[in-house]
Copies of this chain bind each other. A is one copy, B any other.
Amino acid sequence: MAMDKDLLMLMLRRMWLIRHFETTVIDIYSKGEFGGAAHPYIGEEAVAVGACTAMKDTDYIAGNHRSHGHPLAKGGDPKRAMAELLGRVDGYCKGKGGSMHLADFSVGILGESGILGSSVPVATGAALAAKIKGENFISAVFFGDGASNQGACHESMNLASVWKLPIIFICENNQYAVTTSYRDTVSVEHVSDRASAYNMPGVLVDGQDVVAMHEAVSVAIERARAGEGPSLVEGLTYRYEEHSLGLGRVRRGEYRSEDEIAEWRKRDPILIHEKRLVEQGIASQDECDALSADVAREVEEALEFARNSPFPEPEALFEDMFANPIPQP
């Protein structure tokens, strides 16, 4: 697949955006600037970015608790995402959702969901709407290796397959669910092996290579738009940080080795992509560094924006429950 420089640089930009965003999030969380849970996406950037850059604004995604990468990859605004994390009115959800529930329906982000597997049927429904309406948008959903064991995934994949819905099931296999290796909980070698149980293509992809992800998802999207039904794409990737900010008890030495982390860091998705850009003469390292610095500033501005946004007023508590509101009981 021939890719133009703009696209390749967009991929780099969005990966850096996620990386800087998450680094900032970890920093301000550690300083107590916000609370609750937050699940860093660092190390996995190529999965969401490769996938989302293969989509249009009119296509839909849904995601999970590891929730910052997907919307940023899909073109979400870091200002509004950061404001949401800080619980402010200018956040995507006016502060009601927080880290695990970013959503921007205006660019096709159906929302991140904290319950494992729970957004998979929802994304399937968006694809069903495309089919009923006869429109050619598609839908995609991100879920983890752990979540792949949920019944919701099975039911949705079967439904999408028998109805030939335009949806891409994207499993982010980052090797672990909290402290549990997927080898102890997933009964097959690869999650994508399960595609055969639904009569759909199952593709195992190097999730550290943004171009590989982009290509695999592009093929799946083409198929979906052509009315040929869903695909399952598994990106093999790795989470550098611990499961969640705020979950103090997890000590990584207990379930994975420092060596393992170091090995994976050698295959850092940004490193891999920059190396390719430089080696293929598409961009210089300076250009890449400048882009990174530029994005870092964007994230700083987002933080500034978020900090300046006010907290919601008490009245807001009762707003947004219903489109046609009803009296409080």
Contact = CB atoms under 8 A, between A and B. Distances in A.
Contacts of A186: 158, 162
A187 B154 CA distance: 11
A196 B196 contact: yes
A3 B187 CA distance: 35
Contacts of A185: 158, 162
Nearest to A196: B196
Label chain A's interface by main secondary structure.
helix
Contact of A197 (B152, B155, B159, B194): B194
Contacts of A152: 151
**What is the total number of copies of this protein in its complex?**
2
Interface in A183-214: 184-189, 193-194, 196-200
B150 A155 contact: yes
B196 A184 contact: no
Nearest to A161: B187
A154 B194 CA distance: 11
A244 interface: no
A149 interface: yes
Contact of A199 (B149, B188, B200): B188
Contacts of A189: 199
A186 B161 CA distance: 9
B149 A155 contact: yes
Contact of A187 (B149, B150, B151, B158): B158
Interface of A: 149-155, 157-159, 161-162, 184-189, 193-194, 196-200
15 contacts: A149-B154, A150-B151, A151-B151, A153-B154, A158-B186, A158-B187, A162-B185, A162-B186, A188-B196, A188-B198, A188-B199, A193-B196, A194-B197, A196-B197, A197-B197
